Chains A and B, each alone.
Chain A
Amino acid sequence: MKPTDIGAPDYLHKVVDCQWACPAHTPVPEYIRLIAAGRYSDAYLINWHSNVFPGILGRVCDRPCEPACRRGRVDAAPVAICRLKRVAADLKDDIRHLLPKPPARKKPQRIACIGAGPATLTVARDLAMIGYQVSVFDSGKQPGGMMRSQIPKFRLPDSVLDEECAYITDFGVAMHYEHWVGSLREVLAEGWDALFVGTGAPRGREAHVPGRQEAGAHIHIGIDWLANVSFGHTTKTEKRVIVLGGGNTAMDCCRSARRMGGADVKVVVRSGFDEMKASPWEKEDAINEGIPIFNMLAPKEFKHDNGKLTGVLFEKMRAEYDARGRRSLIPTGEPDELMECDEVLVAIGQENAFPWIERDIGLEFDKWGLPVLDPVTLQSSLPQVFFGGDAAFGPKNIITAVAHGHAAAISIDRYCRGRDLQKRPPPLTTLVSQKMGIHEWSYDNNVSEETRKQVPTKAREMTLLDIKLELEIGFDPFLACAEADRCLNCDIATVFTDPACIECDACADICPTECISFTANGEEDELRGRLKAPAKNRAQALYVSGALKTGRVMVKDENICLHCGMCAERCPTGAWDMRKYFLQSATAGTEARRT
């Protein structure tokens, strides 16, 4: 193999698995260390720069970082990254004076954003911060979009939403609430310099099953129902409720119903338990609240008695896989199962809907009804119109919407300045040695043996009575510190300097996971097999040095490195060093590096 170039933009970034997995590339280990040090405000600001909504995401993020966490590969469970983020938000001081100030002199360009959800708010923040005049239009009375309308208050209290939205609206963003945009043509005619569309995926999928119309009074679309609950239009449910669907919306529906008078709430899913789209922890929370989940049952008919819903008839399914491993669900032929109920919530998916965008104004849509976009710049076929969040590529999650927001803001800024949109500004990176002295590093290189900490909750019987009472209490400083200590500091990179190595084997001998080998070079596949610990995880890179004095090379498997620094501690010549790789994604206004 060729010697690894750790200067390549993504190499060390990929080693920080959590940061790489985060769509917004939040510098996770850096803020976790700050939490352990009790510097909550600093930890918050690092988050705020990257993901804009630390308090919100610390409660409801889909946490792509956690399945990626290195801890999960060498220990039983990953670091509770998401809930540590919440700690930073909960325990910080007033940080308003620490936020950047928008320039006093505004740029002449005016930007309109449609929809006030996470993608738009990110665009608004990034652009307002560098002086653009941003106006936001939303049909609701408050900012937040689906974060406010669809996420139940017992998971995300309004106070947190209000606080983090206010940080953005306080930047002088002109917010136009209760403003329904009915025509893109009209908005275009208003002469904005650029437009951002962040209107989400607002339409819940319908269950086309006999009896739907007749029993319609007690059958609701999940996301609409959640919005009604959120805004207080719906205040109670019937006793027996069936929720159809296996995603996170279904979990929010069933848990909300449980808090609104639903004594007998069930979730019924077409697929198997493991294939459900809901995050494992959300399923777990539902089950803990006494909500059973029934799988492999497809709704066949809504049973009713003169329009009064009496139950749902389900057809039993089984999974079958074709030669390519694709699954299809087929009826088993067993007798159908009737489940009695008084109310049904349909949460079987969301769709995009752009009824307000005329199809003759030059904005192209694909066959799925989604706008045709450049995947990097998020620019539509109308050069001044950009999309982001669920409106761009269909329903995803908040953190992806934030990442879209950053990307769109960069594009809009470059568009307004007449720059090439494809030329993206690089992230800001630093790589600095952490050696402080003999046996002394600036990070805590002791590898914690603690197990993952559970987040304390309020008593279930209490929270089941009040839909606005937040269930989770969050980590206290001691639990937070213990959990933060579990972080392996993957951003403290092992950096190897070939000419300094005397091949004494000290690093290979001490390495607790045996991830360092000195061996003859070879092709990657073959080399992976003959390392001291065979490197079976192809998704993780090998760090290969140039030829050393004996002609061998140093090969380090990044997969299982604990970043404990033992190699650098043992190295007599300083060939190994532990250097902190700090990466912050570019935001609008960052200049591309001159080459």
Chain B
Amino acid sequence: MTYFAKPKLLRPDTPKNALGYTRRDYEGAISSLCAGCGHDSISAAVVQACFDLDIQPHRVAKLSGIGCSSKTPDYFLGNSHGFNTTHGRMPSVLTGAALANRDLIYLGVSGDGDSASIGIGQFAHAMRRGVNMTYIVENNGVYGLTKGQFSATADRGSKNKRGVVNSDSPIDLVALALQLGATYVARGFSGDKAQLIPLIKGALRHRGPAFIDVISPSVNFNNHAVSTKSYDYVREHNDAVNRLDFILPRDPVEAAYAPGELRRVVQHDGSVLLLRKLKTDYDPSDRVGAMNHLQERHALGEIVTGLLFVDSTAESMHAHLNTVEKPLNQLGDAYLCPGNAALDALNASLR
């Protein structure tokens, strides 16, 4: 349903990354979401992050469920693997894919309905199992495809476009992810790419379940004056704990800050998360502290953003399950299916 095509002409000095690709090479089809949707900004942030990280598009698998947010993988990384699963089932399909081939970069894209309602069980188990993935929730607090009913993340007391008050308690997926054992937890805002892009980069290079909740205003159904997920409201109540600079192992570290202002986290692959503190007493390695801070600020009506928690030494699901290093598609038939004798031996060992 694209009525127009993006011109293919590039400016003459279009930058290319180490692989010789332009940003355009990481884009997908033209978005058919409403003009001005926050989700499109998130797509642009994913494009920028993958471009900056010199990611080979064919080494990425992007999976999603159902909803406005889950449509977006069509709008970025047009040369990557993709799987549009049934509603709320992205985490289990992704888990299966990760078990079969651990060499790909897994990007799960979901929304507040897909992850906080129908798929909340799936979400919870992907987090607690430690699936090595980046899990992005494009959170707008409404069901956009069905014209703007409240979703499970809508704040209690907030009003929809027609003035109806939401009387249910909201689910905070960030709080759940922290509690369920995610090892990289962040919240961003689609209207602040300078903050969001490094958060996505850090997540893509994190080993283990990396969860990013991105507040993403629904420009048609949840951007009115009394909404708590509008551009204006989120900008007014944005309470960032830190600013992240993501640095690849090959890049020089050039940040110069007073001691105590900066926290340096080295991930397992050598990439560096440079955290410029905005709240001096906030410690992103303290899971319990993070949960407390989140609850305290939420009670005050603030929206906590930034990299809230990171454990760079965590193991992922593959270590827990002691899976084979090679992707299954590289192992060969004889190895994958060792025959009756092997089955008999296995059965015998269990008797």
Contact = CB atoms under 8 A, between A and B. Distances in A.
Q: Do A and B come from one complex?
A: yes
A75 B9 CA distance: 7
Contact of B41 (A445, A506, A562, A573): A506
Contacts of B219: 502, 504, 572
B257 interface: no
A9 to B, nearest CB: 28
B35 A506 contact: yes
A462 interface: no
A505 B44 contact: yes
Contact of A550 (B37, B41, B217, B235): B235
B298 to A, nearest CB: 23
Contacts of B231: 502-504
A504 B9 contact: no
Contacts of A514: 11, 23
A77 interface: no
A568 to B, nearest CB: 9
Given A566-B4, A572-B219, A506 B9 contact: no
10 contacts: A74-B9, A445-B4, A446-B4, A504-B37, A504-B217, A506-B41, A512-B7, A512-B8, A566-B6, A569-B35
A73 interface: yes
Contacts of A534: 13
Contacts of A504: 36-38, 41, 190-191, 217, 219, 231
A146 to B, nearest CB: 38
Given A502-B231, A509-B43, A512-B7, 4 more contacts: A74-B9, A446-B4, A446-B7, A573-B36
Contacts of B8: 447, 449, 512
| 9 shortest interchain CB distances as A-B pairs | A572-B36, A447-B7, A439-B3, A509-B44, A513-B11, A504-B36, A560-B11, A572-B35, A572-B219
A106 interface: no
B12 A74 contact: yes
Interface string B199-238: 0000000000000000001011001000000011001000
B18 interface: no
Contacts of A74: 9-12
A441 to B, nearest CB: 9
A549 B40 CA distance: 21
A503 B41 CA distance: 11
A101 interface: no
Interface in B33-68: 34-38, 40-41, 43-44
A570 interface: yes
B5 interface: yes
B9 A570 contact: no
A21 interface: no
Nearest to B24: A512
B5 A446 contact: yes
A52 B10 CA distance: 37
Nearest to A572: B36
B35 A564 contact: no
Contact of A572 (B11, B34, B232): B34
A445 B6 CA distance: 10
A506 B31 CA distance: 11
Given A502-B231, A505-B191, A562 B7 contact: yes
Contacts of A502: 36, 219, 223, 231-232
Interface string B142-158: 00000000000000000
Given A502-B223, A502-B231, A504-B41, A73 B12 contact: yes
A557 to B, nearest CB: 9
A572 B44 CA distance: 17
B191 A512 contact: no
B36 A512 contact: no
A533 interface: yes
B293 interface: no
B36 A570 contact: yes
Interface string B285-296: 000000000000
A65 interface: no
Interface size class of B (residues with CB under 8 A): 20 to 34
A458 interface: no
Contacts of A73: 12
A510 interface: yes
Contact of B7 (A439, A506, A564, A570): A564
A550 B41 CA distance: 17
B129 interface: no
B193 interface: yes
A506 B10 contact: no
Q: Which of A509, A571, A572 has the most CB of B within 10 A?
A: A509
Contact of A533 (B11, B44, B223): B11
A179 interface: no
Q: Which of B5, B7, B37, B44 has the most CB of A within 10 A?
A: B7
Nearest to B7: A447
B9 A509 contact: no
Interface string B279-319: 00000000000000000000000000000000000000000
A236 interface: no
B4 A439 contact: yes
Contacts of B24: 512
Q: Which of B10, B35, B220, B223 has the most CB of A within 10 A?
A: B35
Contacts of A515: 11
Contacts of B11: 74, 513-515, 533, 560
Contacts of B36: 502, 504, 506, 570-573
A514 B191 CA distance: 17
B232 A536 contact: no
Interface string B1-33: 001111111111100000000011000000000
Contacts of A549: 232, 235
Nearest to A568: B35
A533 B13 contact: yes
Contacts of B35: 506, 569-572
Q: Which of B6, B8, B37, B43 has the most CB of A within 10 A?
A: B6
Contacts of A512: 6-10, 24
Contacts of B37: 504, 506, 572
B5 A505 contact: no
Nearest to B38: A504
Contacts of B10: 74, 512-513
Nearest to A511: B6
Nearest to B216: A504
A569 B35 CA distance: 8
A504 B43 CA distance: 13
B40 A506 contact: yes
B345 to A, nearest CB: 58
A445 B235 CA distance: 34
A505 B190 CA distance: 9
Contacts of B217: 504
Contacts of A75: 9
A569 B36 CA distance: 10
Interface in A466-507: 502-506
Interface in A511-560: 512-515, 533-534, 536, 549-550, 560
Contacts of B3: 438-439
A226 B215 CA distance: 75
A505 B43 CA distance: 11
A284 B317 CA distance: 68
Contacts of B13: 533-534, 536
A569 B4 contact: yes
B47 to A, nearest CB: 9
A485 to B, nearest CB: 12
Contacts of B6: 510, 512, 564, 566
A536 B12 CA distance: 12
A506 B40 CA distance: 7
Interface string A37-81: 000000000000000000000000000000000000111000000
